[in-house]
Structure 1
Amino acid sequence: MNWTDERVELLRKLWAEGLSASQIAAQLGGVSRNAVIGKVHRLKLSGRGRTTAAPARQKKASSAPASRPARAASPARATAPTVGATALQVQFDAEPAARQHLRAVDNNVVVPISRRLDLTQLTERTCKWPNGDPLSEDFHFCGNEAGENGPYCAYHARLAFQPASERRRVR
């Protein structure tokens, strides 16, 4: 595919209007999104026109009453723009939704006091949770009763074996 002068001018016009590379590629026809992105970079077209979603957000933010108290800064959450979405443009929510992920509290599990056992003192029924640096003199294992379900006491088993859904949420 050759970039003719007419196609380059149409590319410049559509890019300035804020269309995405995919949208421009569809309008030009016979060219891929990546080809459009490459041509935009070679032409050094950095200035973008505003999409219809951007001015609406600015008006919303500027229309707030002056007597309103300032809020504490919080991390913004990125959202996909509704019009003219591109990989080069990201918009943020003015007020991200605060999420708290709390595990249900099980009152039956108590933080154990370590029995401070050495490796040679461990048995099949003692908790093998390591405490400290293995190279230091103070290194020891929990040593509380592990039960028949695994190598750790109830408390350390909850730390070691978290449900997959909770691990994904933390990331």
Structure 2
Amino acid sequence: MATTQDEGPVLQEPSERVSPRARVMWAVTAFANSVFLLGVYLLVGYAWDFVPLNVWLALGLAAVLLAYTVVMPLFRYAVHRWEVTDTAVYTQTGWLTIERRIAPMSRIQTVDYEEGLLSRLFGLASVTVTTASAAGPLVITALDKARARELIEVLTRRADVVPGDAT
């Protein structure tokens, strides 16, 4: 994190990236959601007597969902970053909108490790850093399992040595 003489710390883009396998996991998730949504549309359309217009709408919906399945993981991977310093945890998430969050080490209350079913298939895990913030926890998703476990240890050690009551 850079500083200026008069302004103090300047928020920079975090330096660490999530695992490259995250792109594939996000694409698989988007594809599954797209197939489900298209299936629901077709079932509803069939129940209400398909007309030629519905076929064109179904093809248009399929094209939009295909584009989403291809584009979203690429944008999301380009944006998702994280970084841990001696004093804070930084995250940047999103793909259409970008959110950057900072949690000072002195505010960390808990650090959690999670492997969802799909994440486990891709060898990935998430680390959740809970603070006293009303904005909720910071979540670092799609990390390699070994990197996530290492991050848990680092955060636990650093949060333990920083003075403060985490409130």
TM-score (normalizing by structure 1): 0.19
Bigger helix fraction: 2
State the structure with more CA Rg.
Answer: 1
TM-score (normalizing by structure 2): 0.19
